[in-house]
Amino acid sequence: MPIVKNFFIGLSNNPFLNKTAKEIGPMLGANKVVAGNTIEALLNTIERLNSKGITVTVDCLGEFVVTEGEAIQSKDQILEVMYAIYNNSLDGHMSIKLSQLGSEFDLDLAYRNLREILLKANEFNNMHINIDTEKYDSLFDITQVLDRLKGEFKNVGTVIQGYLYEADTLVEKYPELRLRMVKGAYKESDTIAYQTKEDIDENYIRLIEKRLLNAKNVTSIATHDDKVITHIKQFIKDNNIEKNQYEFQMLYGFRTDLAEKIAGEGNNFCIYVPYGDDWFSYFMRRLAERPQNLNLMFKELMKPEVMKKAGVVTGIVAAFGAASALVYRLFKK
């Protein structure tokens, strides 16, 4: 469904919709996919997941960082969350986008900010810091910064997007790093990425198998796809992959029952937990991956109590929701 995917990716980059959604996020049911916008709410979420044998990786949401002051503010928020996790003896680590730290206008600033975070992470039980991938245009910057840091720090890793042709090279390049394996959420050209679900799935599974057989660190298998999960479980069993060499990973608020089931089977499991007000771009990218998730927000939006509280602003977003639902229905297979 390339047209639907492009539609939601476009919405994720709309500053007006991001600003509007930030103002009424809680009323739209954003708390179903984002762990609140206060430290207390975040800690409650982490504690609840930890009690079920699930660790977390926290993403302090932030889009459109365009000044040094905003980049430093993002860094400080990340440090605040890290301190809270450590101080409360919770099981969690951080997932960070370089763009939050200023990479789109000053790559060296982003490097300095990330290095400061890693230095503090070393004080917090060597907390893992993951560099999340973004659009393909940022991949060179990510690997450049990662290559500068990996010699100094052992608690840094990144994400491999399975739909990229370059993914093979990256898996081979970083066997000693903790890597998260994903299919990929952005719309990329056929000159750099596989386009069909069949090709993406095939390459994704092949890369995970390759990584599990050759890695010297943890492989995070990040997917909600039942077929992929079932296949990889059997591959792990058939090849006697040790438990400490892998974990399954899912997004907060999505397929909760399945996540708890997999964790309950004795597998290492991690939930990707977004935190903060800037939830709209994050959620639109999740819709680009799986447009069926639109129902989660739209059902909340149409509740009478929500409409009453949010008034005109909700009407605007309701119109967006209706249009989104229409696009999905028109182009779904």
Q: Is domain 34-274 classified as CATH 3.90.1170.50?
A: no
Identified catalytic residue from 76, 112, 115, 132: 132
Residues in a beta bridge with 94:
58, 129
Task: Give residue 144's pLDDT band: very low, low, confident or very high (50, 70, 90).
Answer: very high
At 299 the pLDDT is: 52
pLDDT tens column, 268-299: 999 999 998 776 666 666 665 555 555 545 55
Round to whole Å and give the CA distance between 2 and 330.
Answer: 12
At 285 the pLDDT is: 62
Give the residue range(s) of CATH 3.20.20.220 domains in the chain.
Answer: 34-274
Confidence (pTM): 0.81
At 288 the pLDDT is: 59
pLDDT tops 80 at residue 257: yes
Task: Give residue 328's pLDDT band: very low, low, confident or very high (50, 70, 90).
Answer: very low
Q: Which of 65-69, 99-103, 183-187, 323-327 has the lowest mean pLDDT?
A: 323-327
Answer with the residue of higher pLDDT: 147 or 3.
147
CA 316 to each of CA 303, 319, 321: distance values in angstroms, whole numbers, following the listed order: 15, 5, 9
Q: Which of 100-104, 135-139, 328-332 has the lowest mean pLDDT?
A: 328-332
Task: Give residue 12's pLDDT band: very low, low, confident or very high (50, 70, 90).
Answer: very low
At 29 the pLDDT is: 53
184 annotated as a binding-site residue: yes
At 76 the pLDDT is: 97
Burial status of residue 242 (CB atoms within 10 A of its CB: 0-12, 13-18, 19 or more): exposed
161 annotated as a binding-site residue: yes
pLDDT tops 70 at residue 300: no
Answer with the residue of higher pLDDT: 142 or 135.
142
Q: Which of 1-5, 221-225, 291-295 has the lowest mean pLDDT?
A: 1-5
Give catalytic status of residue 199 as yes or no: no
Residues in a beta bridge with 52:
none
5 annotated as a binding-site residue: no
For 140, half-sphere exposure in the C-beta direction (CA atoms, 13 angstrom radius) is 2
231 annotated as a binding-site residue: no
The angle subtended at Cα 90 by Cα 85 and Cα 96, nearest 5°, is 45
32 annotated as a binding-site residue: no
CA 323 to each of CA 48, 314, 319: distance values in angstroms, whole numbers, following the listed order: 36, 14, 6
% of the chain exceeding 90 in pLDDT? 65
Give catalytic status of residue 132 as yes or no: yes
pLDDT tens column, 156-196: 999 999 999 999 999 999 999 999 999 987 888 999 999 99
pLDDT tops 70 at residue 330: no
Identified catalytic residue from 180, 201, 211, 278: 180
162 annotated as a binding-site residue: no
